[in-house]
Chain A
Amino acid sequence: MDKHSVFKSWWLPILFALPQIALILLFFYWPAVAVMQWAFTLEPPFGGAAEFVGWANFQDVFADPFYWNSVVVSLIFSLCGTVFTIVVGLVLALAVERQLPGSGLFRFLYILPYAIAGPAAGMAFRFILSPERGLMASVNAIFPDFWNPAKYGSHALVLVIIIFAWKWAGYTFIFLLAGLQSVPRALTEAAAMDGAGPIRRAVDIQIPMLAPTLFFLLVIMMTEGFVGADTFGIVHNTTGGGPNHGTEVMVFRIVDEAFKGLNYSGASAQSIVLIGLIMVFTFIQFRFIEKRVHYK
Chain B
Amino acid sequence: MKLAVIQSFLAGLLAATTLGASPAFAEKTKFEFWYGLSGDLGERVQDACKKFNDAQTDFEIVCTSQNGYDTTLQNTIAAYRAKKHPAITQIYDAGTLDLMLSGAFVPAKKLMADNGYTIDWNNYFGGIANYYATAAGELNSFPFNSSTAMFYYNVDAFQKAGIDFKPDTWEQVEEAARKLQAAGFECPMGFNFDTWPMMEQFSAIHNQPIATKGNGYEGLDAELVINKTKFVDQVKFFKKMADEKLFVVKTKQLGMDTVPSFTSQTCQMIQTSIADHGTVGKTLPEGVKWEVAMLPVWRGTERQNSLVGGASLWVMAGRPEAEYKAAAAFLNYIATPEMAEWWSTVTGYIPVTKTGFDAMKDNGFYEKAPYKGREFAIQSLTYTPTSQNTRGIRLGGFTQIRKEVSTSLEAIFMQNADVQTELDQAVERSNAVLRRFEKTYAGQKLN
Residues on A facing B (Cβ under 8 Å): 42-48, 51, 53, 60, 130-133, 149-152, 239-240, 242-245, 257, 259-263, 265-266
Q: Does B251 make an interface contact (CB < 8 A)?
A: yes
Among A44, A51, A150, A257, the residue within 8 A (CB) of B254 is A150
Q: Does B295 make an interface contact (CB < 8 A)?
A: no
13 contacts between A and B (CB under 8 A): A44-B440, A45-B77, A45-B98, A46-B81, A46-B103, A48-B102, A131-B254, A244-B410, A244-B415, A261-B403, A261-B433, A262-B400, A263-B397
Instruction: Say whether B400 contacts A42, CB under 8 Å.
Output: no
Provide the bound-state CA to CA distance between A189 and B410, in Å: 59
Provided the pairs A44-B441, A45-B98 are in contact, do residues A259 and B74 lie with their beta carbons within 8 angstroms? yes
Instruction: Say whether B407 contacts A244, CB under 8 Å.
Output: yes
Q: Which residue of chain B lies nearest to A48 when distances are taken between CB atoms in the complex?
A: B103
Q: Which residue of chain B lies nearest to A263 when distances are taken between CB atoms in the complex?
A: B436
Q: Which residue of chain A lies nearest to B317 when distances are taken between CB atoms in the complex?
A: A46
Q: Does B80 make an interface contact (CB < 8 A)?
A: yes
Provide the bound-state CA to CA distance between A45 and B436, in Å: 12
Q: Which residue of chain A lies nearest to B75 when distances are taken between CB atoms in the complex?
A: A259
Instruction: Say whether A260 contacts B403, CB under 8 Å.
Output: yes
**Smallest CB separation, A34 vs chain B (Å):** 10
Taking CB atoms, residues of chain B closer than 8 Å to A133 are 255
Residues on B facing A (Cβ under 8 Å): 70, 73-74, 77, 80-81, 98, 101-104, 251, 253-255, 397, 399-400, 403, 407, 410-411, 414-415, 417, 432-433, 436, 439-442
Instruction: Say whether A130 contacts B400, CB under 8 Å.
Output: no
**Smallest CB separation, B430 vs chain A (Å):** 11
Provided the pairs A45-B77, A45-B98, A260-B400 are in contact, do residues A244 and B253 lie with their beta carbons within 8 angstroms? no
CB-CB nearest 6 A-B residue pairs: A46-B102, A261-B400, A150-B253, A42-B440, A150-B254, A46-B104
Instruction: Say whether A263 contacts B400, CB under 8 Å.
Output: yes
Provide the bound-state CA to CA distance between A293 and B433, in Å: 48
Among B101, B407, B440, the residue within 8 A (CB) of A43 is B440
Name the prevailing secondary structure of the B interface residues: helix
Instruction: Say whether B410 contacts A262, CB under 8 Å.
Output: no
Provided the pairs A244-B414, A263-B400 are in contact, do residues A44 and B407 lie with their beta carbons within 8 angstroms? no
Instruction: Say whether A243 contacts B415, CB under 8 Å.
Output: yes
Among A46, A149, A259, A261, the residue within 8 A (CB) of B397 is A261
Provide the bound-state CA to CA distance between A256 and B335, in Å: 35
Provide the bound-state CA to CA distance between A119 and B410, in Å: 23
Among B104, B397, B410, the residue within 8 A (CB) of A242 is B410
Instruction: Say whether B81 contacts A47, CB under 8 Å.
Output: yes
Q: Which residue of chain B lies nearest to A261 when distances are taken between CB atoms in the complex?
A: B400
Provide the bound-state CA to CA distance between A263 and B441, in Å: 12
Provide the bound-state CA to CA distance between A217 and B314, in Å: 50
Taking CB atoms, residues of chain A closer than 8 Å to B73 are 262
Provided the pairs A42-B439, A262-B98, A263-B397 are in contact, do residues A242 and B81 lie with their beta carbons within 8 angstroms? no
**Smallest CB separation, B260 vs chain A (Å):** 13
Provide the bound-state CA to CA distance between A53 and B436, in Å: 12
Among A42, A44, A131, A240, the residue within 8 A (CB) of B102 is A44
Provided the pairs A42-B439, A46-B80, A150-B414 are in contact, do residues A130 and B397 lie with their beta carbons within 8 angstroms? no
Q: Which residue of chain A lies nearest to B82 when distances are taken between CB atoms in the complex?
A: A47
Provide the bound-state CA to CA distance between A161 and B251, in Å: 22
Provided the pairs A42-B439, A43-B440, A262-B98 are in contact, do residues A244 and B255 lie with their beta carbons within 8 angstroms? no
Instruction: Say whether B433 contacts A51, CB under 8 Å.
Output: no
Q: Which residue of chain A lies nearest to B77 when distances are taken between CB atoms in the complex?
A: A45
Q: Which residue of chain A lies nearest to B403 when distances are taken between CB atoms in the complex?
A: A260
**Smallest CB separation, A27 vs chain B (Å):** 15
